[in-house]
Amino acid sequence: MSILEQSGTTLFVCVTCRAQTAAGPSDEQPRAGTRLLAAIEAAPSELRAGLTIAPAECLSNCNRACSVAVTAPGKWTYVLGALDPDLHAQDVLAFARLHQKHEAGLPAWRERPEYIRKNTVARVPALPTR
């Protein structure tokens, strides 16, 4: 395993996200965010290799649920939204792997899954080092 693959990339999945319907947030159980986490954890192991996948409670992107965040020490942090647990688990993992492989956590735009390109909510730079 290379140094970049050991970069400690964490994929936070908001498990409190509710599916958005025309009438507002769904009351379905389990919540859509919990189903997204399950779908990500059920993906083939080679798609999750080297990633730490962790639940989180609310990433303050509730109106564009489901939401995840991808981060690593010394790298950019990305928040992704409007994710469907039945459709986007592998897109999220593909993005997380690109983030993992890039030294600064800046996946090339063209390499990102198209749905992720269109549903990136925010990116935050790494903390400055002294």
| Residues within the interface to ligand FES (CB under 6 A) | 14, 16-17, 33, 58-62, 65, 67
Nearest to ligand FES of 104, 124 (CB atom): 124
Nearest to ligand FES of 52, 63 (CB atom): 63
Q: Give the nearest distance from C-beta 69 to ligand FES in angstroms.
A: 10
Nearest to ligand FES of 4, 58 (CB atom): 58
Taking the C-alpha atoms of residue 115 and residue 130, their distance in angstroms, rounded to an integer, is 36
Q: Give the nearest distance from C-beta 35 to ligand FES in angstroms.
A: 13
Q: Give the nearest distance from C-beta 75 to ligand FES in angstroms.
A: 21
